[in-house]
Amino acid sequence: MTEASIHFNSAREAQDVCGRHDEWLPCIEEAFGVRIVSRDLWLRIEGDESAVQTVERLVNALRKARNAGALLREHSVLFAIQTFKEGRENDFSKLYSCRIDVCPGKPPVFPRTFGQIASKPYEAAISRSE
């Protein structure tokens, strides 16, 4: 059994990535067959080496998306879990690197699916609508 630790920069970052009251951790545990312990500003992931490494990359990808301005909601976290289970980690990173700044005072827009990334008309429509 392997374990890894992830340290968050702030309590807000930990809450955004793990969900309120760590609501998304059981979904991650079930999907990858690992055990996750959350305390204050850190997570400890225990399980098979490959599963632990995958979950570590998943959590870091969620942190990166959150730090880029994405709002992590249930849909986006479940989508991330499914993407990592399918081995499409690079595609997930591309998803949150496509940030569209619409106008001052409004949060940025991110595509929510891979089809929206491939659709240049989607990006143009979002940019035009604001």
More confident residue, 125 or 39: 39
Which of 26-35, 62-71, 96-105 holds the top average pLDDT? 26-35
Burial class (CB in 10 A: 0-12, 13-18, 19+), 95: buried
Proportion of the chain above pLDDT 70, given as a percent: 75
What are the φ/ψ torsions at residue 43 (nearest 5 degrees)? -125, 145
Mean pLDDT along residues 74-88: 88
Fold type of domain 2-89: Ribosomal Protein S8; Chain: A, domain 1 (3.30.1370)
Residues of the chain with CATH 3.30.1370.10: 2-89
